[in-house]
Structures are given as C-alpha cells and as structure tokens.
Amino acid sequence: MGLFRHSNELLPERRVTTGEHGARVVRRGRRFSRITRQKFWCWVLLVATLFLLYIVVFGLKVLFHGKLEGSVSVSQEVRRDLSISNAGKPPGSKHRKQHFPCEVSFAESVDDLVEPKEFMNFTQFSLKYIDREENPSRNNLFEPRFGGYQTLVEREQSFYAKNQTLHCGFVKGPLEYPSTGYDLEENDKAYMNTCKVVVSSCIFGSFDFLRRPTSKRISEYSKKNICFVMFVDKQTLSKLSSEGHVPDDSGKIGLWRTVIVRNLPYGDMRRTGKVPKFLSHRLFPMARYSIWLDSKMRLNTDPTLIIEYFLWRAKSEYAISNHYDRHCVWDEVLQNKRLNKYNHTAIDEQFNFYQSDGLKKFDPSDPNTPLPSYVPEGSFIVRAHTPMSNLFSCLWFNEVDRFTSRDQLSFAYTYLKLKRMNPDRPFYLNMFKSTREAIPSSSSASSSSTCYLINEISRYLIDNHIEDGKAQSKVFLRPPISVNGWLIHLADRTEDLRFGGM
C-alpha cells in the first residue's frame, strides 16, 4: 500500500471554480426569476450542461487513475506520483508525523568534496581474467559459456587475495565457436572505456519501465563527469520507444545513455541482469567507482554525494545495504521456497554445499559476527574498483553463475569465505542499514519515500517474482481511494497481471 500526495493539485481548484460559476449562474437565475419561462429553461439547460461538463472532466480523472490495463498511463502515473512524493510533503501535513528522520546525511554539495588521497590504498594485488577457454575434452558437445567452466579446484584457488587470473564472466570459447554473449557495439565500448565513475542499471526482457534520474538533484559536476549507463536488449528498447522514451542521436534518454546488449548470455533475464550488476569493473575497465541501481529504483541523489557518503566517509571499498527484514540466510532460503522464487532442489544443492563449506547461522548476539546481517538488499551497490572489491565481485558473480541466480543466498558465504581465506588482507565492506528500517511499519512505508536515493514506493508496487527465464514484474493497481486529499493506492502482488503491459 502506498500513500501519495494527490497527484493532481489542480483538481480541487477546478472543482471550486466550476462550483463558483455554478453558484453565480444560480444567483443570476434568482435575479431574473420573473423572466419568461423560455429563458428560465435556457438557464436550466446551461447549468445542466456545465454540470455535465464537470462530471465528464472529473469522471475522466477518476477513470485515468483507475485504469489498470493501460500500461503507459499507469506507469506515467506512478512516475508522476513518485516525483511528487519526492518533492516532500508540505509542512504541517498530517502525514508528516509519520516520517522517521532520514538517517542518511549527505554532504551539502559536491563543490568541496575531494577524493581522499590514500583512498585506493587498500589491499594491493593484481587480478587478470580468463578471456578464452579451449575445449578441454575435444568432444563435440562442448558449448562455450559466458561464465566459463571453472573447476572446483580453480574455484577454491580464486578466493585467495593474491595476483591471479580467474574466471569473471566474459569467457569466450575457441575461435570457431559462436560468441558467449553480452555483445556490445564498438562505439558503446569506446564510450564505456572513457568512464571514470559510473552509475549503471539494466532492463532486459522489458520487465520494467524506465525511471530517469531526478535531474535537478544531480549537480552539473556529476552530469559532466559521470557516465549514466542503462543496459537494455533490443526488445526493451523498442518497448521504451513505444512508450515515448526515444533515445537521441547519442543514445541518451534523459541522463541515461542506453547501451544495447545483443546475444544475452542466459535465458533467464534475471541472471543476465547479474552481469552488469556484479561486473561493472569488467564492463568499465577504466572506472574507479561504480554505483549499481536496480531498475525499480530512481536515482534521486547526486552520485558524487553517494560515493562520498558510503565509501569515502565510511572508509570502505564496497557498500551494500542489508535486508530490511531478514538477517539470516536460513530465513532467506525458506522465504525463497515459500514464494517459489526458484527451483527448490537447486536451492538445496547450493545451500548444502555452503553448509558443508562452513556457513554458519547468523548470530546477532555475537559481537564478533563479521557482518551486521547475512542477507543483503542488493538493489543498490556502491563500489570502489579496488582489487579486493573487484575480487569479491567476481567471486559473487561466479556463485550466481554456478548455482542459483538468487544472489542473496551466496552473499554471506562468499564474503565469509573470502575473509577466512585471507585473514591478513582486509576487505572494507560497508553493510549499511536498509533505508527501509527507518520506516515504522510496512503499511506506511512509502510515506518515508522522501528519504534518499531509493524510492520505496516503487518497491511496493513492483514485485519481481518469477525466476527461471520467465522474469516478470507484476503489479496490480486498484483505483486510488482519496483520503483527506491524499491518494491511497493499494498494490496487490498477483501472479497473473504484468506491470508494463505487453
């Protein structure tokens, strides 16, 4: 459920205007009460017409809000509601009391920010990546894979923080074999090679609509110096274009520069989404920082401020939020099964493997527990591209490639194993509190959406539900109910309705 400021401020005003007009007409009607019957009926007709007009205008509004199947209008409406809720609530509003104080205090402006000198002076070693894999067995059934064929021995070795060459996606097959996927145009690659700082996101398989960063909150400095890259497939791009998001000559839609990915490496769109999510250091080899944003979120804060807050100020090289609700992977496994998020057998295989390799239950009472939570909320990740951070990203990606694509299941295991295998090589991970924890209860969650980068509302409206290739985000919007001038949307997660139409 979400609370929105009435999305059409003009509406009550218009109602008043029409009402006053109507009243004036009635007064005049009284003044001329002795005038002939014919004239009287003319006035009645006029009043009736005005009334009808009012009904039509108002009624259309209601219809527009309540329209379920028109994907474009629903998404536009959500977008507009989001932007209004971002703008903050008026002082003195009833709903203000429900706000929890924002816990994130970004710097005031980007003007005085300077990257700390010693920042990249964390654990130093050099990583190289396996570029090509030959057919080891010379059998004809060999099919090159994007993630390659990493043996368990290689996997074990890859966890050491030392100079090494490891699997990290983008593994090509022998020369005569077809591409393993995630193919990009040369001009896009050239552009991506220029990026020093990146904000990236992706939409594959049209499973979401496009949310543009809130431009007015982003400094000229960041607009000039940061690449905003949205990876899409061809299908998604045509859909976006049909919704009115047509890229300009340089491929830009607002701040997003769209980059078309051809030949998706996995049939499962959500697994394909893990490539840009985890491997930004490979996609943007010159970048020193990157911010990953799930497509269901709108960037609402200056990325430079985000980097300062989550990395520089926290002296961290990798920042990710913990889950707003679950802290133990055991619970996450149960939840994944309960919601049928993934093939149960595959979840069990992965989880048994992790337990046999030392994964222990999360113990919140143990002060030496290395992480504040074992379950991340990975829709927002801030990274410095340091060796340790890059290694962790590769290792996490390899788990998602080898086991299920549910990355919440592999996060804690990967982190703990990396720590365990490298006791003297620090990895500065900042696992910050989910912004949703600042929210008193789930029912009024979206009223705190004025906070920060993450638009809580969109999370409530869109449930990314199904794995295994049928990735679809679903939402069901009931017609809004108006309470004290606020619109309340009730969002149901349903199996059969698809947000974004199609």
**Binding stretches for ligand NAG (CB under 6 A):** 118, 121, 125-126, 163, 343, 345-346, 349
Q: Which is nearer to ligand NAG, 75 or 158 (CB)?
A: 158
Which residue, 304, 295, 326, is CA-closest to 197? 304
Task: Report the C-alpha gap between 264 and 271 in whole angstroms.
Answer: 10
Per DSSP, the residues of 205-252 read TT-S------GGGS-HHHHHHEEEEEEE-HHHHHHHHHTT----TTSE
**What does residue 181 show for φ and ψ, rounded to 5 degrees?**
110, 180
Q: Which residue has the tokens 């990895």?
A: 427
- Collapse the DSSP code of 164 into the 3-class scheme (helix H, G, I; strand E, B; otherwise coil) and give the result: strand
Task: Report the C-alpha gap between 263 and 6 in whole angstroms.
Answer: 43
Q: Which is nearer to ligand NAG, 7 or 150 (CB)?
A: 150
Q: Which is nearer to ligand NAG, 126 or 368 (CB)?
A: 126
Q: At what angle do helices 344-356 and 407-421 cross, to 10 degrees?
A: 10
Q: How far is the CB of 338 from ligand NAG (least distance, A)?
A: 17
CA contacts within 13 A on the Cβ side of 86: 21
Q: How far is the CB of 350 from ligand NAG (least distance, A)?
A: 9
User: Which residues are registered as beta bridge partners of 492?
Assistant: 476
> In the numeric block, which tokens belong to residue 487?
């619109």
> In the numeric block, which tokens belong to residue 495?
């199996």
Q: How far is the CB of 343 from ligand NAG (least distance, A)?
A: 4
Q: Which is nearer to ligand NAG, 20 or 349 (CB)?
A: 349
**What does residue 477 show for φ and ψ, rounded to 5 degrees?**
-105, 120
Task: Report the C-alpha gap between 105 and 316 in whole angstroms.
Answer: 17
Q: Which is nearer to ligand NAG, 233 or 467 (CB)?
A: 467
Q: Is the dihedral of CA 100, 103, 107, 109 positive or negative?
A: negative
Q: How far is the CB of 339 from ligand NAG (least distance, A)?
A: 16
Q: Which is nearer to ligand NAG, 58 or 353 (CB)?
A: 353
Q: How far is the CB of 5 from ligand NAG (least distance, A)?
A: 45
Q: Which is nearer to ligand NAG, 185 or 349 (CB)?
A: 349
Q: Which is nearer to ligand NAG, 126 or 441 (CB)?
A: 126
* Ramachandran sector of residue 116 (left: φ over 0; alpha: ψ -120 to 50; beta: rest): beta
| 418: amino acid identity, one letter | L
Q: How far is the CB of 371 from ligand NAG (least distance, A)?
A: 25
Q: How far is the CB of 475 from ligand NAG (least distance, A)?
A: 26
Residue 346 makes CB contacts below 8 A (sequence gap 6+) with 403, 404
- Give the pairing type, strands 252-253 and 127-129: unpaired
Q: How far is the CB of 342 from ligand NAG (least distance, A)?
A: 9
Q: How far is the CB of 160 from ligand NAG (least distance, A)?
A: 11
